[in-house]
Structure 1
Amino acid sequence: MALNTQPNLHEPGKRHFRAFSPGDDFYEALIDTHRDLTDEQSAMVNARLILLLANHIGDISVLREAMQIAREGA
């Protein structure tokens, strides 16, 4: 499986009238997740989120590709 870098966010059963709306919903939820946390707590939440999502994806080659792409932008 190759890493999908195209917009792919959706919510089952919910219709969006703009293509970017699911991404906006995700971003808002991510910001809410970090609200009122210290920098240390926020870093811990990010680390846990990465590990949870990596486990969900499960494909090491896809995860390596994602890490490479993420590092290129740093």
Structure 2
Amino acid sequence: MTDANAPNLDHPDDFYARLLEAHEGLSKPESDALNARLILLMANCIGDGAVLEHLLDAARARGPAPGGTQTGASAGRGST
């Protein structure tokens, strides 16, 4: 399985700018709902359960989340 953190987008800055633009003017709950819908759409496009599990583990292993909430193995589910 490839490294989930390795660059893979042709134009990552363009995507990031578009992602920020999509959130403009939204409240925190609306922004959270947009993120949830986007995650589910992307998961559906990926379609491979093993890849999705790998990505979840990689996302949790990134360290403390904003606000100091610990993520990763020490916060519950360990990585495989």
Larger relative contact order (CA 8 Å, sep ≥ 6): 1
RMSD: 1.1
- % identical aligned pairs: 44
User: Contact 1:54–1:63 (CA<8 Å) still a contact in 2?
Assistant: yes
TM-score (norm 2): 0.72
- Runs of 4+ that moved beyond 6 A: none
Uncovered stretches (5+) of structure 2, i.e. residues with no partner: 63-70, 72-80
TM-score (norm 1): 0.78
Q: Where is the helix percentage greater, Structure 1 or Structure 2? A: 1
Q: How many residues align?
A: 62
Uncovered stretches (5+) of structure 1, i.e. residues with no partner: 11-21
